[in-house]
Chains A and B, each alone.
Chain A
C-alpha cells in the first residue's frame, strides 16, 4: 500500500460526537486524497490536497473538514457525526507523473 497508513482501523461513534482520522505517508508525495466507500456506490472523493497547507473539496465534502499542516499527514475531521457518515474511509496518495493512486488500509466508521 505504498507506505500509506491510517489510524484508527475501526471506530464507533454516537451521533453528534467528533473525531479525527489520520492518514500518514512515509514518502514525499504532494497529492493526498480522502474517499469514502459505500456499498453499491464505489468510492467517492471527500477532500483532497495538492500539497502542504492546501486542501480542496471533492464530490461529497459536507460534514467533513480536512487539514494538511505537514506534508506527510492528511487529517479528516468529523465535527458532529451523523449516521449517514457510517462508511469505510480510504486515504490515498498520488504518485508519479500521471498521479497513480495508492490506497491505505481503510478506517471502518460506524455512527449510531
Chain B
C-alpha cells in the first residue's frame, strides 16, 4: 500500500530565505506521480508542482522545485526566496499508476514565514 510521510508538522522560515519541506513515500509500483499542494488559511487547495517517477529531471515551477531522490524515496519541496504569502499548510501526495488512481496525501507541514 502506498504511504506518504511528512515528518515536519511545522516549519518557520525568514522572509526571503529558502526552505525545504520534507516528504518521503513508500510504493512498490514503478510508475507513480508525486505532487505538492498548498492550502492557505482560506482553505482552498492549490496545485504547486508534479514529478513523475520516470522523469529524469527535478521538476521546477517558478520559486518551487522538487528535490526528487528516487533511491531514497524522497520528494522534498524547496521554496526559494520565501514570501509572507507562502505561509500555509503544504501537502505532499502520491498517486500510483495512471491518472485517476487513488491519490494519498501526507499529514501536511504548516509553514510560517516570518518578516
Verify that A and B bind, or say they do not. Answer: no
